[in-house]
Amino acid sequence: MPETPIFEKKNVLVTGGAGFIGSFLCERLLKDSKVICVDNFLTSSEGNIDHLLPNPDFEFIRADINAPLELEKYPELDRFKVKFQGVQEIYHLACPMSAKRFEQFRQETMLANSVGMRNVLDLAVKNKARFLLASTSVVYGPRPADGHLFRESEFGCYDHMTPRGCYDEGRRWAETMTSTYRDVAGLDIRLARIFRTYGPRMPLYDGQMIPDFIVDALEGKDLVVFGDENFRTSLCFVTDIVDGLVKMMNLPTDPGPINLGSDYDVKLMDVANRIISLTNSSSKVVFQPPLMFMTELGLPDLTKSKEKLGWIPLVPLEQGLKRAIEYTTARKGLISTRFQG
C-alpha cells in the first residue's frame, strides 16, 4: 500500500464503474471509502449510478481508459485530496461488453485489453495502489466435453484468430500484463476470474437473455433463447460477485487467480420458464441461432475461493430472479432502451 497520508478514508478508483457489476461495486465500496468512478458509457448506463451522484464520497469522471488518466488534473477530485493522497486501490472492470453489438466494438475491445490496460496499470504503479483485474471465465476456453469444473491452474485453448479473439485472447493478455507488472514493477495485484453474472441493472435488448427474458415476460412476448433447449450455463447474482471482489482486494497478499461464480449448472430454457411463472406471464420460450458472444461456458471449481476468501455464492437463483424481476417491474417504463435493436 502507498506510503502517503490518508485523509479520513482511502481513495478507491473503479474503472467501468457505471457498468452492471461496476455500479454495484461502487455502491458497496462507499460504505467505508471514497470512490472515483471512471466510465465512458460505451456499453454502460448513466442510470446505473444516478443514485450515487449525491453522495459526497462519490465522484464520476467521464473518461476513456485508452487515453492516459491523470486524476490530479480533475478539479472535482480536489475534495478527495488526490494530489496528496493519490488512490490506494484500483478495481479495473473497464472493457466493452455487448452481446448483440460485439462486432461494433471489436476495435475498442482490443484497445481496452492492451492500451487501456497499460494506462491503468501505469496509474497503479504511479500511486503504488493495490490493483484488482476483473477478468473472466473465457480465459479457460469453451465448456469442456467431460464437464469438469475449471480450476485456476488450468489454461484455455481456443482459436485466437476468430472475431471473438479481441475479447477472449484480450482477456488472457490483460492477465499477462497484470502479472508482468507484478513481477517487473512490484505491483500488488489480484486476478478475479468472473463467471456468468446476472441481476438488476443489466443492459436491456443486448442479448444477455436474463433481463430480456424479464421484460418480454412482463410484456407477454416470446422469450428468446439464443441457442437450443440444451443451452446450459451457471448464473451468479451480482452482489455475490461484488462480495468476492472486495474480499479479494482485502487479502493481505496476492493469492493468484481466483474463480468467482456459481458451480450450479442450469438450462436457460428452465430459467426462462421460471421467469414466466414468477411473472404470471402467458409468454412462451422460443429458440434462435446463438450469438457470437453468448455461448456455453464452463463452470468454476470454487475450492480456492472457499479456502482463500471464505466465499461461496449465497443468493439462490430463485431469490435472485425475484429481485431482478422486482427491479425491472418497478423501472420498466423508465429504463433506457438505448441498447434496443
Q: Tell me which residues are annotated as active site.
A: 167
By the 8 A CB rule, do 96 and 137 touch?
A: no
How far apart are the C-alpha atoms of 226 and 11, rounded to whole Å? 41
Closest alpha carbon to 21 in 53, 6, 43 = 43
SS3 300: strand
Take residue 340 and report the three cell numbers written for it.
434496443
Burial class (CB in 10 A: 0-12, 13-18, 19+), 314: exposed
Take residue 147 and report the three cell numbers written for it.
464437464
Cβ contacts of residue 275 below 8 Å, gap of 6+? Answer: 210, 213, 214, 217, 223, 281, 321, 325
Q: Around Cβ 260, how many Cβ atoms within 10 Å?
A: 27
By the 8 A CB rule, do 16 and 44 touch?
A: yes
By the 8 A CB rule, do 94 and 15 touch?
A: yes
Instruction: Number of helices (H) and strands (E) in the chain: give both, helices first.
Output: 10, 13
How far apart are the C-alpha atoms of 229 and 272, rounded to whole Å? 11
How many angstroms separate the Cα of 324 from the Cα of each of 12, 207, 210?
Answer: 28, 16, 9
